[in-house]
Amino acid sequence: MTRPEDSDERKAAQIVRDVSPAPSLEDRVVARLGAAGLLKVHRDWRTVLLSRSTLAIASLVGGLGLGLAIASLKVGIADAQHAYVFLLDTTRTDVNPPDAAELVRRDRAYAAWMASLERSGRLLSAVRLAPERMLVGAVERSESVPPASGVVIVQAANDSDARQLALASPHVRYGGTIEIRKKQI
């Protein structure tokens, strides 16, 4: 036995299912939910994968191109110039050790020399070494050989050019010795 209310509810439900809302209603609801921060955009995993893959490939190609451009510049420099290593020894010929003011002047002279090498594009690297050293292995040389106090790596056109750069160093002026070694090709 059907009740009359049941058939009315069914009819009403059927009408609601059959009637479509106005097309602009969905747009308005989505816009309001988005403005309220209640919507989260879900992309299809294939779309996300494709966009990330495209970005990764573009980055790889761009990085490879940049690396090749930089490598070609370095090859051009290496063709015209050679790398030389300056080993600065710690031997001092001063009878009296320099006072604090003289040490400051010397530090400034070294800094100026290094700055001039850097400005000219000839300085590749430089480090000041601690006086302590460790010798490992079958050491043939005498312990009386002074340890290096610094290492400077420069670019020079030839041996004569490297020698001139070393002679301009304050290290030589202050009684030190610089051993010049050419990078083996």
pLDDT digits (tens, 9 = 90+) for 73-113: 454 444 457 899 998 886 655 566 778 888 888 888 888 99
One domain for residues 49 and 66: yes
Q: Which domain holds residue 163?
A: 81-131+146-182
The number of distinct structural domains making up the chain is 2
The pLDDT value given to residue 75:
42
One domain for residues 70 and 96: no
The pLDDT value given to residue 157:
92
Rounded to whole angstroms, how far apart are CA atoms 150 and 171? 10
The CATH number covering residue 158 comes to 3.30.70.1060
The closest alpha carbon to 106, from 175, 178, 174, 179, belongs to 174
Identify whether 173 is part of a domain. yes
Whole-Å CA distances, 105 to 50, 89, 101, 109, 112: 63, 19, 6, 6, 11
Task: Give pTM, 2 decimals.
Answer: 0.52
Contact yes or no for 164/158 (Cβ under 8 A): no
Which helix (H) or strand (E) segment holds residue 53: the answer is helix 45-80
Identify whether 136 is part of a domain. no
Residue 63 CA, chain-centre distance (Å), reads: 13
Query: For 136, left (φ over 0), alpha (ψ -120 to 50), or beta?
Result: beta
Identify whether 10 is part of a domain. no
One domain for residues 52 and 71: yes
One domain for residues 75 and 85: no
Residuewise pLDDT in 10s, the chain (185 residues): 555 556 777 776 666 666 666 767 777 877 787 777 776 666 665 665 556 666 556 555 555 555 655 555 454 444 457 899 998 886 655 566 778 888 888 888 888 998 999 999 998 888 887 877 777 777 655 555 667 778 889 999 999 999 999 999 988 888 888 889 998 76
One domain for residues 86 and 126: yes
Q: Is 124 exposed, middle or buried (0-12, 13-18, 19+ CB in 10 A)?
A: middle
